[in-house]
Structure 1
Amino acid sequence: MKKFMVLIVTLVLAFSLIACGGNSTAAKTNEKPIVIATAEFNGDFYSGWTNSSYDNDIRILVWAFGLIEDTPEGQIIDSPLVAEKKVSDDLLTWTYKLVKGAKFHNGEALTASDVKFTYEFYMDTKALGDTGGTSTINDYVEKIDIDEAANTVTFHLKKASYTIDTAVFGYYIFPEETFKKGAKEEGLTVQQYVKKNISKPIGYGPYKMVEYKEGEYVKLEAFKDYLGKAPAIKEVIVKVVPSETELDQLMQGEVDMLTQQGQAEKIDAVKDKPGFAYTNYYRHGGGTIALHCNFGPTALTEVRQAFAYVLNRPKIIELFLGQYGIASNGPYSKNDWVLWDDDEKNLIGTAAVGKFESTLTSYDILDKDGKFDEAANIAKANELLDKAAARTDGDYAKLTGNAKSGYLWEGKPLEIKVTYTPFWSDTYNLVFNEAYVSKLAFKVSLTGLDWPVMYSHWTGDTEEERMYHAFVGGVSYVLKANPKADYGTKLIMPWGQASSNNVMFSGGSSYTPAEWDQLLDDIENANPVTGRDEYRANWRKFVVAMNKEVPVIPVYSNNYFDFFTDKLENFHTNALWRWARALPNANWKK
């Protein structure tokens, strides 16, 4: 055991020397490795199994694109694999002609046959599911034809939606010959073969995998036959670093980059230090509170609105993020182009409030000093509850009482039960402290649960009695949103079964369930080629409804900082362009 421990220490010391640029040859040629700090990987470096963002950073370095790619501005364009594209008038036939000379990291040529193989790999959901993988590609693709001589692949689609490009054409391509040969030699299906080798990805992107050490690091090197511009930095080490020591390791030069920092104590420790540079941007997502819209008092729009008013979001941001956060008033981020009018493009990603956003209701009433006005917010909540208590139709008959004596639900004190993971205990108990809650005309109770238990209550996938109304969580947004995938009424299941529509929202007081589903259909079915303005108009109707009905309260969006050594240049990240996207364009200063 002692010899084993000495060996580990020796390896760690050797790794530290490499990470700090101890390789003199590399330093002389300005090709020293860059070391990026990361949280721990799952090691699933092929898509379709787990969905860790840290694994995905490695995938981006290894593949970079499928038949489409995104830009730093969040636009979707044809990738360098595509020489030509044709789309039929009915939008159901998409033909891609591939460029010549594309190669996988193992030297195998990338052809139309590899594309067909990859998609059929995911379309075989039985074989994929047997390995724990999933794919929705069969929802969109009917069949695939190829012309090997012309190097073209034709997709015959079942439907054409506005998000068809991101739903279908972003899949990373696999080397057919290598996978089939390996699977045959080992007596496996190709899905089993990939699962077995899931930590040894073979792509065609700017960097190829050299070594993966579980729980420690990934090492990659530049791919000389990359279709794009060859990376200037020839070696990348993505190192697993505990959050408790990540700042120290950055300051001491053990890592060169620390990304997506949102908490004031870490940001302030580095931001103005000599030797470091940074980029900063508002997160494309954020912290939320989700409310069940078909259970107890939160089934009423006015109750959800009242809770939103008494939720002190400025205090949550101050406690959790310091000055590095912002609150929004709907399911969007500052990086969504649909949030802005065409003449506001220069505001995308900034803290500015555009014309559309200014029409939305803010549930934070602020005083003349810009602070949360406690009395005014409580008064507004009571006004809404009085209005609801005056009604006697449907579930409104269950709400009685008034601000002075307290509100009742089915004859008992109105109570909104909030649950969160232990991580949020201090913050939410400070916000809903006893002194503050005593000023409310209804109860707010807080319960901490481990994530799996809380999530089962959140989605309804539990045999336990239903008891919670609000759930503290978070959300990430995508480049092209299809809200039907999260808010369609058919996704609401009976209690005891998981609901993908996990807020159980079906239109509230703004839409009937049928009208709500129609709006979601209209968003989904906008023309993927010409429907940009149609999509934006209907998406805004969706946001207006979500803002009014508050099935989800957007609590904060981080102002993230990516910190890195100032010896790095031409490195530019934003909310839509993570470090793994930006790194291939960066270089060491000479």
Structure 2
Amino acid sequence: MKKAILILLVIAMIIPMGLTGCTNHRGGQLIIGNTTELAGDFGEAQWQNNAADADIRELINGYSPVALTRQAEYVYNDKVATVTQETNEDGTKTFTVKLVEDLKWNDGTPITAKDYVAKILLFSSPIIKDMGARGTYGMSFVGWQEYSASREKDADGNYIGEEEPTRVFSGVRLLGKYEFSVTVSTDYLPYYFEITYVDITPIPRALWLPADVDLSDEGEGAHFNDKFTFEHCSETIENARYANENRLSCGPYTLQSFDKTALEAVLVINDNYKGDYTGQKPNIEKLVYKKVTSETMIDELKTGQVDFLVQLSEGDEIKEALALVDNGGFDFTKYERNGYGKIQFQCDFGPTQFVNVRKAIAHLFDRNAFADTFCGGFGTVVHGPYGFAMWMYKEKEDQLNTTLDTYAFSMDEATKLLEEDGWTLNAEGGAYESGIRYKKVTAEEAGTYKHNVTLADGTILMPLIVEWASTEGNPVSDLLSVMLANSDNVKNAGMQIKQQIMTFTELLNWMYRDSSQGEAYGVPTYGMYNLATGFYPAYDQSYNFTLDPDLVAAGYNTNYIFDEKLDQLSMDMVYAVEPGDKESYAQYWFDFIVHWNELLPEIPLYSNIYHDVYNDKLQNWDVDGFWDLSYGLLYAWVEE
């Protein structure tokens, strides 16, 4: 028999301080400045996940049956649905979602179960994978492998066989106009963040699919009709990904427009939004979200060209902004970061495929001095993929401090690592004395790296030249250029780090090897990037270090590091732990961090104290490393 368990909805009996909003404060405008540029990719993060685009998506999407509380806990949202859970005889689990019947899109049309099921089907489909998206949205559900399987190709790259537009997704059921269910495979149970299996938001089918594409369920699983083909749907899907004029959506705000030249988005209140898990609706009538530069953003704040600067990180910028606050008319909020700044390596080609090279680079500059210089006293160096806001870090801090390799600055250690790894030759294959080091490599190690040298006898030599992609107007890039890339330390170590400056959007294209944005991006080119990462409250690294070539091709494991132990630890951290077992989760997290630190697929640079600085017309601004911009804006208001 199936054991049916009603999941009790968690209802906040006491609204935390800051989550007030009972008084009507509606009105006004807020101009938000961010140094991360908008790319305009609003397609559900199924292709890339630029942090600025993510802010917009969080503001315009909504109505998940799962909500994040102010205490950073996941709960079921009874304003959206009632959720029940069944444990089946075969060990799978079925979550049944019964929607409330008053949810609407911003154009006033009703939201139904089809809109939720369509999202799972679309973003798990072979069509979406053929368009360069991940296609893994429903990966945890029974029947995903069969549903998502792509057609085979012949030697010339042509598809073999016909499309199957009506293919059934057996683990996803459309049960009624306002009811659907998903069944989780035993391969994905237990799962520490199990509640998030139904953290599913709807998509507007009128935006994403042609009008004649429908879906149904005759008892074996949900499926589209025979109009769901690549030829018929791909143009509509591509347009939906970038749609920006009064975009059809259901969150607290509507994306009214996006100016790709000015990198500016305008959002207005969605009057059909019924509120979050507490019933809170937005107050600020109009949001303008724009790109700012480090050089001018404080002046823009001072002169009213922007009202709000998001997540200031660099020490001098923070100090200048706080001086503005001291003069009156402005305020600030500070909070620990749930993330870190980093150098990211791609570890499957060129010199950075070798762990000793990655470690040598870490030893070639003083990361403590870097963090002190950049953060200006508002942050410090970290030694793994974590941020100061994490409870796991706070709990394991002492163990981390005594266990992790800090990769202290040492020319001797860097040289030793390189020599042990075989970087002992010159360009002619003789003993290295000065200049660029070379290493004898196999044809497999050589790959197609453009700097390789082949001697007359067929010996392949790889020079110690690292191609680095960095972004324009980025103070971290500027500091790395001085303290690392162009330093005497790197030169004297026999290494060259070649910097290429580009937009952040272009950097992400190279990092994701996103050939959907141009064939050139699919070719491994840069071994080193600098950027920053913010983590979701559900810290889940599973598949980020996968060895599965299909998942790598889908955009997972952008480090391209293939280590069985790292992959297993990242999976066990969440899939070997029952929900609520914080002790086991924290231990797996610690073991993962330790092994990651040994392999060093990235060099952590800093975690810091974020500062939001704003015109004091902004009221009730209450955020932290988990309850971020999109949540804060919902409860804030402006007094003009």
Q: Is the TM value for this pair above 0.5?
A: yes
Instruction: Summarize the Cα distance change of 1:308–1:571 in structure 2 as closer, same or farther, 3 Å threshold.
Output: same
Residues 378-416 of structure 1: CA deviation (Å, up to 9, x unaligned): 45556x649x84xxxxx6797999999999765899946
Residue in 1 that maps onto 2:307: 256
Which shows bigger deviation, 96-105 or 171-180?
A: 171-180
Instruction: Summarize the Cα distance change of 1:379–1:225 in structure 2 as closer, same or farther, 3 Å threshold.
Output: closer
Q: Is the 8 A contact 2:61 2:251 kept in 1?
A: yes
Residues 302-322 of structure 1: CA deviation (Å, up to 9, x unaligned): 554444233211333345443
Which among 171, 188, 191 is matched to residue 160 of structure 1?
A: 188
The 1-side partners of 2:578 and 2:137 are apart by: 17
Residue 33 (structure 1) aligned with residue 29 (structure 2)? yes
Residues 58-90 of structure 1: CA deviation (Å, up to 9, x unaligned): 222222342323234433322331223314253
Residue in 1 that maps onto 2:167: none
Aligned length: 524
The 2-side partners of 1:271 and 1:397 are apart by: 48
Residue in 2 that maps onto 1:284: 338
Residues 245-287 of structure 1: CA deviation (Å, up to 9, x unaligned): 4332321223321212222343222214211111123433333
The 2-side partners of 1:556 and 1:336 are apart by: 14
Residue 421 (structure 1) aligned with residue 482 (structure 2)? no
The 2-side partners of 1:429 and 1:213 are apart by: 32
Q: Is the 8 A contact 2:436 2:496 kept in 1?
A: no
Q: Is the 8 A contact 2:268 2:286 kept in 1?
A: yes
Residues 121-179 of structure 1: CA deviation (Å, up to 9, x unaligned): 333341x4566655312422333223327x43111234425377587533321345787
Instruction: Summarize the Cα distance change of 1:492–1:396 in structure 2 as closer, same or farther, 3 Å threshold.
Output: farther
Residue in 2 that maps onto 1:246: 297
- For residue 554 of structure 1, report the CA deviation from its aligned partner: 0.6
Residue in 1 that maps onto 2:93: 92
- For residue 232 of structure 1, report the CA deviation from its aligned partner: 5.5
Residue in 1 that maps onto 2:400: 357
Residue 146 (structure 1) aligned with residue 174 (structure 2)? yes
Instruction: Summarize the Cα distance change of 1:49–1:201 in structure 2 as closer, same or farther, 3 Å threshold.
Output: farther
The 2-side partners of 1:211 and 1:434 are apart by: 42
The 2-side partners of 1:385 and 1:467 are apart by: 24
Residue in 2 that maps onto 1:15: none
Residues 402-451 of structure 1: CA deviation (Å, up to 9, x unaligned): 999999765899946462436466423421487742896x3232211255
Which shows bigger deviation, 558-567 or 64-73?
A: 64-73
SS of the equivalent of 1:279 reads strand
SS of the equivalent of 1:54 reads helix
Instruction: Summarize the Cα distance change of 1:201–1:297 in structure 2 as closer, same or farther, 3 Å threshold.
Output: closer
The 2-side partners of 1:447 and 1:575 are apart by: 34
Q: Any residues of structure 2 matched to 1:196-235 within 5 Å, and which? A: 196=239, 198-199=243-244, 200-212=246-258, 215=262, 216-223=264-271, 225-228=273-276, 229-231=279-281, 233-235=283-285
SS of the equivalent of 2:123 reads helix
- For residue 582 of structure 1, report the CA deviation from its aligned partner: 0.8
Residue in 2 that maps onto 1:525: 575
SS of the equivalent of 1:218 reads strand
SS of the equivalent of 1:74 reads coil
Instruction: Summarize the Cα distance change of 1:302–1:399 in structure 2 as closer, same or farther, 3 Å threshold.
Output: farther
TM-score, normalisation: structure 2: 0.68
Residue 431 (structure 1) aligned with residue 453 (structure 2)? no
Residue in 1 that maps onto 2:135: 135
SS of the equivalent of 1:249 reads helix
Which among 424, 447, 458 is matched to residue 498 of structure 2?
A: 447
Q: Is the 8 A contact 1:340 1:356 kept in 2?
A: no
Instruction: Summarize the Cα distance change of 1:305–1:223 in structure 2 as closer, same or farther, 3 Å threshold.
Output: same
Residues 487-513 of structure 1: CA deviation (Å, up to 9, x unaligned): 23345999xx99954544344xxxxx4
The 1-side partners of 2:551 and 2:603 are apart by: 22
Q: Is the 8 A contact 2:106 2:271 kept in 1?
A: yes
Residue in 2 that maps onto 1:536: 586
SS of the equivalent of 2:27 reads coil
Counterpart of 1:113, as a letter, is K
Residue in 2 that maps onto 1:489: 547
Instruction: Summarize the Cα distance change of 1:230–1:406 in structure 2 as closer, same or farther, 3 Å threshold.
Output: closer
Residue 336 (structure 1) aligned with residue 395 (structure 2)? no
Instruction: Summarize the Cα distance change of 1:65–1:359 in structure 2 as closer, same or farther, 3 Å threshold.
Output: farther
Q: Is the 8 A contact 1:45 1:201 kept in 2?
A: no
- For residue 550 of structure 1, report the CA deviation from its aligned partner: 2.0
Alignment RMSD (CA, Å): 4.6
Q: Is the 8 A contact 1:289 1:555 kept in 2?
A: yes
The 1-side partners of 2:70 and 2:290 are apart by: 26
The 2-side partners of 1:468 and 1:180 are apart by: 36
The 2-side partners of 1:40 and 1:385 are apart by: 38
The 2-side partners of 1:455 and 1:211 are apart by: 24
The 2-side partners of 1:248 and 1:354 are apart by: 39
Instruction: Summarize the Cα distance change of 1:235–1:97 in structure 2 as closer, same or farther, 3 Å threshold.
Output: same
Q: Is the 8 A contact 1:419 1:470 kept in 2?
A: yes
Which stretches in structure 1 are left out of the alignment for 5+ residues?
1-27, 342-352, 366-373, 390-394, 508-512
Q: Is the 8 A contact 1:118 1:174 kept in 2?
A: yes
Q: Is the 8 A contact 1:420 1:454 kept in 2?
A: no
Which shows bigger deviation, 78-87 or 542-551?
A: 78-87
Counterpart of 2:30, as a letter, is I
> Quick one: percent identity of the two aligned structures?
21
The 1-side partners of 2:303 and 2:432 are apart by: 57
Which shows bigger deviation, 550-559 or 72-81?
A: 72-81
The 1-side partners of 2:554 and 2:208 are apart by: 35
Instruction: Summarize the Cα distance change of 1:458–1:521 in structure 2 as closer, same or farther, 3 Å threshold.
Output: closer
Instruction: Summarize the Cα distance change of 1:320–1:402 in structure 2 as closer, same or farther, 3 Å threshold.
Output: farther
Residue in 2 that maps onto 1:173: 202
SS of the equivalent of 2:573 reads helix
Residue in 2 that maps onto 1:347: none
SS of the equivalent of 1:421 reads strand
Residue 69 (structure 1) aligned with residue 67 (structure 2)? yes
Q: Is the 8 A contact 2:106 2:272 kept in 1?
A: no
The 2-side partners of 1:379 and 1:398 are apart by: 15
- For residue 548 of structure 1, report the CA deviation from its aligned partner: 2.4
SS of the equivalent of 1:123 reads coil
TM-score, normalisation: structure 1: 0.73
SS of the equivalent of 2:188 reads coil
Counterpart of 2:50, as a letter, is S
- For residue 362 of structure 1, report the CA deviation from its aligned partner: 4.8
Instruction: Summarize the Cα distance change of 1:560–1:403 in structure 2 as closer, same or farther, 3 Å threshold.
Output: farther
Residue in 2 that maps onto 1:116: 117
Which among 543, 547, 561 is matched to residue 505 of structure 1?
A: 561
- For residue 219 of structure 1, report the CA deviation from its aligned partner: 3.0
- For residue 584 of structure 1, report the CA deviation from its aligned partner: 1.1
Instruction: Summarize the Cα distance change of 1:148–1:528 in structure 2 as closer, same or farther, 3 Å threshold.
Output: farther
Which shows bigger deviation, 191-200 or 270-279?
A: 191-200
Residues 182-217 of structure 1: CA deviation (Å, up to 9, x unaligned): 567999967654643522333333233455555444
Q: Is the 8 A contact 1:92 1:160 kept in 2?
A: no
Which stretches in structure 2 are left out of the alignment for 5+ residues?
1-23, 144-170, 215-226, 441-460
Counterpart of 2:252, as a letter, is P
Residue in 2 that maps onto 1:83: 82
